[in-house]
Amino acid sequence: MLRFDPGEGRIRTARSFQVWEGGGEYNVVRGLRRCFGLRTAVVTALADNAVGRLVEDLILQGGVDTSLIRWVPDDGIGRTARNGLNFVERGYGIRGALGVSDRAHTAVSQLCKGDVDWDAVFSAGVRWFHTGGIFAGLSDTTADVADEAMAAARRHGVTVSYDPNYRPSLWAGRGGADRAREVDLRLARHADVVVGALGLAGTHPGQARIGAEEVTGALAEVAVLLPEAKVLATTLRDVPSAGVNDWSSAAWSLDTGFVPGPRMTGLYVLDRIGSGDAFAAGLIHGLLAGTGLERALAYGTAHGALTMTTPGDVSMASLAEVEALITGGSAHVRR
C-alpha cells in the first residue's frame, strides 16, 4: 500500500502528505532485505497506472524483488482494480495514531487460486515464506491464495510463518472477529512459525492486549490449537502515551518452552506503525541464522524498537545498529 503521512499534523487538515510504502507482510520482507541483508521478493498485484508505478518505485528503493508482482491493467478510474492507499497520522501524546485504510477493490484483493505459479516461485531455492491475516483477510479469494501458497511452500520444504494481524475493518460485514479467527486458525495450522500468536488466544482479542503476566498461559493455549507450530511469538506493548511506549516480546517453542524477550521501557516513539512487522523480520532473521530463540527474540524486539524511532512503516535501521542495541548500546553520538 501507499502510505500517506501528514507528518506532525493531522489528515483532516493536511495540505501535504509525505508518502511511504507499507503493508503488513511487505514490511517484513523489506526489513529482512534492507536491515538483515537477505534477498527477498514480494508476491502481490498492482494496478498498472502511475500510482502503482510509484508503489513499485518505493518497493525498488526497499531492495525487494519486484519481478513477481502481477500488473493488472488500469481501467482509468479504479472500478475493476485499484492500488491500496493508507492514510496514517502518527499521533502525539494523548492523541493516538489514526489510520484511514482505503484498500477495497484493490488488484491484490482479487488475486485468486491459480493466479500465481507457486511451484515456480518456491523451486528457486527459497528458504522462507511469510504471509498473514491482512493478506488473507483482503477477500475470500486471498484466504484461498494464502492457503495454496502455504501448502506449496511446505511441499518445497520452505519454512512458513504467519501473522494473524487482525484488522477489524477487513472483516466488518464479512463475519467479523469470529470469521477472522476461523480463517487465521485454518491458515496458522500450516505455519511453522506464528508471529502475533496472542491474536489467536481465547476469543479473538483484537486491539485489546493481554498483560505480560498472562502471556505464558496464553501462548500455551495457542500451542494446543496449533499442534504443528514450532515457534509462537508475540510483541507486548503498553501505551501510556502515543510518544512513549513500553515494549517487549515473548515466545514459545517446542524445544525451549516459554522465552521472555528483552524489556524496553519508556521507549520514545516517533511513528509506531510497522513495529510489529519489524519484530517479525528480526525474529525470522534469527531463526534463519540459527541463533536460538532468545537471540531471535532480541533481534525482533530491537529491530521493532528502532523502527519506532523513524517515520514511515518500514525500518531504516542497519544490522550493526540492531546488534549494538541488543548488546546495550547507548544513544551517544557516533561521529
CB 221 to a copy of itself: min, Å: 23
Q: Which of 86, 34, 36 is nearest to 65 (CA)?
A: 34
Give the rounded distance of the alpha carbon of 287 from its chain centre: 17
- Please state, as a whole number, how many other Cβ atoms lie within 10 Å of the Cβ of residue 9: 15
CB 194 to a copy of itself: min, Å: 21
Nearer residue to a copy of itself within complex by CB, 9 or 292:
9
- Distance in angstroms (rounded) separating the CA atoms of residues 39 and 77: 35
Q: Phi and psi at residue 108, in whole multiples of 5°? A: -70, -30
Nearer residue to a copy of itself within complex by CB, 73 or 217:
73
CB 223 to a copy of itself: min, Å: 27
CB 280 to a copy of itself: min, Å: 17
C-beta separation of 246 from 237 below 8 A: yes
Nearer residue to a copy of itself within complex by CB, 14 or 212:
14
Cell matching residue 11: 489528515
Nearer residue to a copy of itself within complex by CB, 292 or 329:
329
CB 87 to a copy of itself: min, Å: 6
CA distances from residue 201 to 198, 218, 225, 274 in whole angstroms, order as listed: 5, 6, 9, 22
Nearer residue to a copy of itself within complex by CB, 192 or 300:
300
CB 207 to a copy of itself: min, Å: 6
Nearest 5°: CA angle at 243, between 239 and 244? 55
Nearer residue to a copy of itself within complex by CB, 126 or 244:
244
Q: Which of 198, 243, 199, 234 is nearest to 95 (CA)?
A: 243
The helix/strand/coil state of 245 is: strand
C-beta separation of 253 from 293 below 8 A: yes
